[in-house]
């Protein structure tokens, strides 16, 4: 591959005209685009080339797109290559669910819209770059500081940059325009300042936690209700999100920052992937079983993905609210739980949405 090329894209379609059109949409100076007419040919190319992104047609003779992706996900060298299905098939739920179960990250529906196609590909190539950077950092840091410290530093770095921009804008508005603002706008402005400061503190706490806490050190007595309330205040849910708290006024032994991170991730996911007009989330504590349940009324998660969702970079695709996750949140949740000698798992027996259980809690 030419050293000037940053990404290699593999396009698979049994119709040459489709490949020509797609290649013309995606071609660029930093990209090498490889085209082929069958899934078998695509598999041969993957043995020789390091590919950043695959776009594969669903309907092909001999080996269709589904079969091709199923094979690639079974091999460690190709399992993590992001794959987009290009299809003329109706966007019925059964087709989309099948694709996501196989590990595809998104769909492009024919006839392709040039701007949408380009933007989606650009976005997933950024994810690929991010993935590669994380892998390089992991090799350098894991021996010295452990995997969790690496994840925390990456998250903090990505959050600190936009947060610093927000702080700068706040200072500018405060100095130049605060006297011109109406009372309602001033209240909103104060909320922005409070949220920015809370987020900054949370990032600093997370960095401190990841660098200084090992095994069961620095555990403390925390009140579940107080910690959950702090997380909800930070998230600041909309009026169409109903959060119910049941039997949470109990003390447990846990690292406070870790507990907040776990609860924040579980609540945020419940909101992000919910497909109902009113999002209902229930957080409850069972004294007898010594476990916390975070339950929602969303679409649920297929049983065969109950463990996969905790893998690094594994996502369920686009959320019901239009955005996509990075696949880092639940992986971090599990590692934080392990640091505190508790378990976090998805309850496959719950059928009215999703339920995550935090078990083996220690009372204090």
Cα 189 to Cα 171: distance, rounded to the nearest angstrom: 11
Q: Which range of residues forms the domain containing residue 182?
A: 146-212
Last residue of a domain, one of 108, 137, 166: 137
Are residues 251 and 130 both part of a single domain? no
Q: Which residues have a Cβ under 8 Å from the Cβ of 97 and sit 6 or more positions away?
A: 302
**The predicted structure's pLDDT at residue 213:** 45
Same domain membership, residue 347 and residue 238? yes
Average the pLDDT over each of 211-220, 221-230, 334-343 and give the range with the smallest value: 211-220
22: domain CATH number?
3.40.50.2300
133 and 154 in a single domain? The answer is no
Confirm if 142 and 150 have CB atoms less than 8 A apart: yes
Q: What is the enclosing helix (H) or strand (E) of 214?
A: none
Residues 153-182: what's their mean pLDDT? 71
Residues 116 and 260 in one domain: no
Cβ neighbours for 204, distance < 8 A, ≥ 6 positions apart: none
CA dist 239 to 121, 267, 277, 291, 328, Å? Answer: 34, 15, 11, 28, 27
The interaxial angle of helices 329-339 and 256-272, nearest 10 deg, is 150
Tokens matching residue 85: 């299905």
Cα 24 from chain centre = 31
251 lies in the same domain as 329: yes
- 128 and 164 in a single domain? The answer is no
Residue-wise pLDDT for 270-306, tens only, equals 998 888 999 999 999 999 999 999 999 998 888 888 8
**What single DSSP character describes residue 307?**
T
* Peptide bond before residue 152 is cis, with ω within 30 degrees of 0: no
Residue 158 and residue 224 in one domain: no
Burial of residue 191, with CB atoms counted within 10 A of its CB: 0-12 exposed, 13-18 middle, 19 or more buried: exposed
Dig out the tokens for 155 from the structure. Answer: 């998250």
Residue 85: the pLDDT is 86
- State residue 259's pLDDT score: 93
Please give the pLDDT value at position 1: 47
- Same domain? For 224 and 357 the reply is yes
Per-residue tokens: 146: 């452990």
Q: State pLDDT tens for residues 18-67.
A: 999 999 999 988 899 999 999 999 999 999 999 999 999 888 888 888 88
| Whole-number pLDDT of residue 148 | 58
Give the C-alpha separation, 23 to 173, whole Å.
Answer: 46
Structure token digits, residue 150: 């690496």
Tokens of 63: 């080996």
Instruction: Give the model confidence (pLDDT) of 229-248 as tens digits.
Output: 999 998 888 889 999 999 99
Same structural domain, 45 and 132:
yes
Is residue 2 domain-resident? no
Average pLDDT over residues 160-170: 76
Number of domains in the chain: 3
> Is residue 294 within 8 Å of 266, Cβ to Cβ?
yes
CA 22 to chain centre: 28
Question: Rounded mean pLDDT of the chain?
Answer: 81
Residue 30 contacts residue 72 (beta carbons within 8 Å)? no
Instruction: Please state the pTM of the whole predicted model.
Output: 0.46
Average pLDDT rounded to a whole number, residues 151-162: 68
Separation between Cα atoms, residue 342 and residue 361, nearest integer Å: 6
What are the tokens at 72? 């690639």
Question: Whole-angstrom Cα distance, residue 329 to residue 311?
Answer: 10
């Amino acid at each position: 591959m030419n050293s000037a090329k940053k990404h290699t894209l593999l396009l698979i379609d049994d119709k040459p005209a489709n490949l020509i059109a797609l290649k013309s949409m995606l071609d660029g100076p930093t990209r090498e685009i490889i085209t082929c007419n069958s899934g078998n040919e695509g598999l041969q190319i993957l043995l020789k080339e390091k590919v950043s992104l695959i776009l594969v047609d669903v309907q092909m003779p001999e080996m269709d797109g589904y079969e091709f992706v199923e094979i690639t996900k079974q091999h460690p060298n190709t399992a993590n290559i992001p794959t987009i299905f290009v299809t003329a098939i109706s966007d019925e739920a059964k087709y989309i669910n099948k694709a996501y179960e196989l590990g595809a990250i998104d769909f492009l529906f024919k006839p392709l819209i040039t701007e949408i196609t380009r933007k989606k590909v650009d976005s997933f190539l950024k994810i690929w770059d991010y993935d590669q950077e994380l892998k390089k950092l992991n090799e350098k840091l894991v021996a010295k500081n452990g995997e969790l410290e690496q994840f925390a530093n990456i998250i903090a770095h990505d959050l600190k940059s936009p947060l610093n921009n927000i702080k700068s804008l706040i200072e500018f508005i405060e100095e130049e325009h605060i006297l011109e603002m109406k009372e309602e706008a001033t209240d909103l402005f104060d909320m922005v300042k409070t949220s920015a400061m809370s987020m900054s503190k949370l990032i600093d706490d997370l960095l401190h936690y990841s660098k200084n806490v090992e095994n069961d050190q620095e555990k403390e007595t925390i009140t579940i209700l107080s910690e959950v309330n702090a997380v909800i205040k930070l998230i600041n849910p909309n009026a169409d999100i109903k959060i119910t708290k049941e039997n949470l006024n109990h003390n447990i032994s846990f690292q406070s920052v870790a507990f907040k991170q776990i609860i924040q991730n579980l609540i945020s996911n419940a909101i992000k992937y919910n497909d109902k007009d009113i999002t209902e989330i229930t957080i409850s504590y069972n004294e007898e079983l010594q476990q916390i349940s975070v339950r929602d009324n969303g679409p649920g998660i297929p049983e065969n993905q109950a463990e996969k969702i905790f893998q690094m970079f594994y996502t369920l695709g686009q959320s019901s609210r239009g955005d996509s996750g990075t696949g880092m949140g639940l992986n971090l949740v599990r590692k934080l739980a392990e640091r505190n000698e508790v378990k976090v798992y998805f309850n496959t027996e719950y059928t009215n949405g999703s339920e995550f259980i935090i078990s083996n809690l220690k009372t204090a």
